[in-house]
């Protein structure tokens, strides 16, 4: 018997009508003979409303208390989803993260799953119930409620799919799949039928915003096939799976531009071993993710160091950076990161060159560059983001099936 994990995001359960539609999806697959585990996010803007409430009371709320507050959104959704399934005549039972033993580390608001206990889920599935799980949450070893960070419900879903050796993890969302570029920016963007974990990992971290990056890492590690599907129609969406031979022929699968990063430049830091390590050690201690890094040696044994962090982390990153002895520290949050990704890059040359030439033709200045085996990213001025994305999408003919 097939086991399917279905995850419904906030927009897919935003009101009673959508909740019922989502429940109908679950019941359809259940009636077709599959065992079903449903993972739900908080309804619509609930998480934002809860955050707003918290900040209206305390402008620096305790992360432990934030987690306890925010986790209620998913708990509500899970209970309502069980009720919606009941109304279709099928048995269902909802669980919080804790009730099915999702234990995490203690890093509140960004916790990572350490363990899940499958006994209660298996017990209820064996009674022919649909099991509904509140996504995004767990408890640490001291029974404090934790949350997995934004997009954490995807992680919950994939982790459960891995644990239960599910045949498929369907992520229902308000888009009809993963595109070669954001269709709101690039009018001729094309939906992909299939994409590899590695490509989507690069795309997700660059802001494809459809599936959370940590859930893809999990899926890749445990080889869980994910289907990103629209909740509003029967579209087949995009399958995310391990790399297969045919993918090699596609040089560039997609392009994205993100505005989530800010740039910090440290001018005149001592150019001696350990200085850079020291800075990044301090940032790591604060759990700040550093993305791109460039270092230039300058005169007088001093160096200039530039790196990017998430905009949300900029203030904390600046405070942390100021512990370092340097001549000057400059922050710039008016940047965008343009990236192209494709497994085929491994075996094809000239991709970077083509990207740089395209931007140059459009008179777009490149501030930073980073490359991986299957990705090239350039930091550019924020206001040129959309123009740059369209130019690159066209240059690589991403609108055409390859």
The footprint of its own copies (CB under 8 A) covers: 16, 19-20, 50, 53-54, 56-59, 61-62, 64-66, 68-69, 71-72, 75-76, 78-80, 82-84, 86-87, 93-94, 96, 99, 143-145
CB of 19 to its own copies, least distance (A): 6
Tell me the C-alpha distance between 78 and 72, whole Å: 10
Residue with tokens 């927009």: 11
Q: How many residues can be counted in the chain? A: 402
36 and 6 Cβ atoms separated by less than 8 Å: yes
Element (H, E) at 335: strand 335-341
Angle between helices 385-395 and 351-361 (to 10 degrees): 130
CA distances from 125 to 94, 202, 294 (A): 12, 35, 52
Q: Residue 94 or residue 258: which is nearer to its own copies going by CB?
A: 94
| Pick 76 or 316: Cβ nearer its own copies | 76
Instruction: Give 79 or 318: the residue with its C-beta nearer to its own copies.
Output: 79
Taking the complex as a whole, the smallest distance from the CB of residue 91 to its own copies amounts, in Å, to: 10
CA gap 81, 5 in Å, rounded:
14
Q: Which is nearer to its own copies, 117 or 372 (CB)?
A: 117
Closer residue to its own copies in complex, CB, 50/329 = 50
Q: What's the min distance (Å) between Cβ of 21 and its own copies?
A: 11
* Least distance (Å) between residue 353 CB and its own copies: 53
Report H helices in 127-196: 152-163
- How many beta carbons lie within 10 A of that of residue 383, not counting itself? 9
Nearest to 24 by CA among 164, 172, 136, 165: 172
Q: How far is the CB of 6 from its own copies (least distance, A)?
A: 17
- Torsion, Cα of 174, 214, 243, 172 (10° steps): -20
Specify whether the CB–CB gap between 81 and 90 falls below 8 A: no
- Least CB distance to its own copies at residue 8 (A): 14
Q: Give one DSSP letter per residue of 118-163, joined into a string.
A: -HHHHHHHHTTPEEEEETTEEE-TTS-EEE--TTHHHHHHHHHHHH
Q: What angle do CA 196, 213, 295 make, to 5 degrees?
A: 100
Q: How far is the CB of 273 from its own copies (least distance, A)?
A: 42
Q: Both tokens of residue 102?
A: 């999702």
Q: Helices in 15-98 by DSSP H: which ranges?
A: 16-31, 46-57, 63-86
Taking the least distance from each CB to its own copies, the nearer of 95 and 307 is 95
Would you say 117 or 193 has its CB closer to its own copies? Answer: 117
* Nearest approach, Cβ of residue 121 and its own copies (Å): 13
Among residues 93 and 309, whose Cβ is nearest to its own copies? 93
Distance in Å, CB of 161 to its own copies, minimum? 23
Measured from the CB atom, is 4 or 22 closer to its own copies?
Answer: 22
Whose Cβ is closer to its own copies: residue 129's or residue 212's?
129
Spacing of C-alpha 258 from chain mean position = 13
End-to-end CA distance of the chain: 36
Contacts of 274 (CB under 8 A, 6+ apart): none
- Residue 78 phi/psi, 5-degree rounding, is -65, -40
Report the nearest approach of its own copies to the CB of residue 47 (Å). Answer: 12
């Amino acid at each position: 018997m097939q086991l399917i994990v279905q995850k419904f995001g906030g927009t897919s359960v935003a009101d009673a009508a959508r909740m019922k539609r989502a429940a109908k999806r679950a019941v359809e697959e259940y009636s077709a003979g599959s065992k079903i585990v449903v993972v739900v996010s908080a309804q619509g803007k609930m998480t934002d409303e809860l955050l707003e409430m918290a900040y209206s009371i305390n402008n620096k709320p305790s992360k432990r208390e934030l987690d306890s507050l925010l986790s209620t959104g998913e708990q509500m959704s899970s209970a309502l989803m069980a009720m919606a399934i009941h109304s279709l005549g099928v048995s269902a039972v909802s669980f919080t993260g804790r009730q099915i033993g999702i234990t995490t580390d203690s890093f509140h608001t960004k916790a990572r799953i350490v363990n899940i206990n499958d006994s209660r889920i298996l017990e209820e599935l064996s009674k022919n119930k649909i099991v509904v799980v509140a996504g995004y949450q767990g408890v640490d070893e001291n029974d404090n409620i934790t949350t997995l960070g934004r997009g954490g419900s995807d992680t919950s879903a994939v982790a459960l799919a891995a644990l239960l050796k599910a045949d498929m993890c369907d992520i229902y969302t308000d888009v009809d799949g993963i595109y070669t570029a954001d269709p709101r920016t690039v009018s001729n963007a094309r939906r992909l039928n299939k994409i590899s974990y590695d490509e989507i990992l690069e795309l997700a971290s660059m802001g494809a915003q459809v599936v959370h990056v940590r859930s893809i890492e999990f899926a890749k590690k445990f080889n869980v096939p994910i289907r990103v599907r629209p909740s509003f129609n029967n579209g087949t969406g995009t399958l995310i799976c391990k790399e297969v031979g045919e993918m090699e022929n596609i040089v560039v699968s997609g392009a994205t531009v993100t505005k989530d990063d800010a740039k910090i430049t440290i001018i005149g830091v001592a150019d001696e071993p350990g200085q850079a390590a020291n800075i990044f050690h301090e940032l790591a201690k604060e759990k700040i993710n550093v993305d791109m890094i460039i270092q230039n040696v300058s005169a007088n044994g001093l160096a200039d160091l530039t790196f990017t962090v998430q905009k949300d982390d900029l203030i904390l990153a600046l405070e942390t950076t100021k512990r370092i002895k340097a001549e000057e520290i400059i922050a710039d949050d008016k940047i965008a990161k343009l990236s192209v990704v494709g497994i085929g890059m491994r075996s094809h040359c000239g991709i970077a060159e083509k990207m740089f030439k395209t931007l140059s033709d459009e008179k777009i200045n490149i501030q930073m560059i980073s490359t991986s085996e299957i990705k090239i990213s350039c930091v550019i001025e924020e206001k040129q983001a959309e123009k740059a994305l369209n130019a690159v999408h066209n240059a690589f003919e991403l609108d055409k099936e390859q």
